[in-house]
Structure 1
Amino acid sequence: MTRSAMDRFIDTIEWVAAGFVGIVAVNIFVAVLLRNIFSYAIPDSFDIGRMLLGILIFWGIAATSYRGTHITVDLIWGNVGPKYQRVIDVFATLVLLFVVTVQTWTLFDKVRGTYNDHVATFDLHMPTWPFFAVAWIGDVSAVLLIAIRTYRLIFHPEDMHDPKFKSTE
């Protein structure tokens, strides 16, 4: 079965998010290893690790928003019929789209502010704005995926499930 360009785009964003999980894990592992075995601290390892965690959070929002795998409370949803479940899903996704769009707007202001203020790390004097920009791109990806999710929930709810889980009957 061929996958649509939209599904490949969604998968790419999820793989990028997974890549950042790996980068954060390697950064922490190497920093702890060097500090505990060789008594050597990587310059700016704390700042870099902190900013990488920020990137991971925003790309994680993108990865979980489309699939709806973030934390939910399904007390009402689980006790209503499919028609009302879809209404609740559309409403909740529209609220999420609004919130993440506002968050993306404010994060862009942070990227611009760190760029204009020439904010740098303490030891190596690396500019911090590129880290904020990568986090912002993750947030933009979240907005795009939530918009796709909203569109599919409203017009093509059958496309909301991963094709590998669809029944062949």
Structure 2
Amino acid sequence: MSSGGGGIVLITAHRRENHGQRLEHILDSIEALSSKFPSHQFIFPLHPNPNVKHRVCERLSTHQNIILTEALDYPQLVWLLQKAKLVLTDSGGIQEEAPTFGVPILVLRNKSERMEGVKKGFAKLVGTKSSVIIKEASNVLSQGYRIEGVNPYGDGRASQKIEKIIRRFLNG
């Protein structure tokens, strides 16, 4: 078994398109990855949707290195994103936020509305096929790399720019 040096893998899955068999494939992947990388912590904040939450708990609650939590507030989520070695997600918002921290993202969907991150190499569409998720995640966890470059969704200074524009407008 490979350990890859440890680290945090942040997982979110909630989209209706991934319910049913697709969710089962995602859960198969997480189980396999948690066994293959026992020194990693797989943190899965649970979406309140009972179709997802109950099934995730049934499948993953007995694995020692898989941590299931209630939904996180924004500061907690950002803290985890900063610490993560990899993100597995079907969330659009996380696809926009993880690039700020240079964290590789595997998108658990066949399509994404956020193709800027895919084109810039921050994210990779992997779908929900277990073998693909396991292969791509194993590559990242074994190599331990972080993505370099400018976040295609912004530089994190939008509020300062907006304030400057408003002050200029109000001051005439």
- Scaled by the length of structure 2, the TM-score of the pair is 0.22
**Structure with the greater relative contact order (CA < 8 A, sep ≥ 6): 1 or 2?**
1
- Higher strand proportion: 2
What TM-score results when the alignment is normalised by the length of structure 1? 0.22
Higher helix share: 1
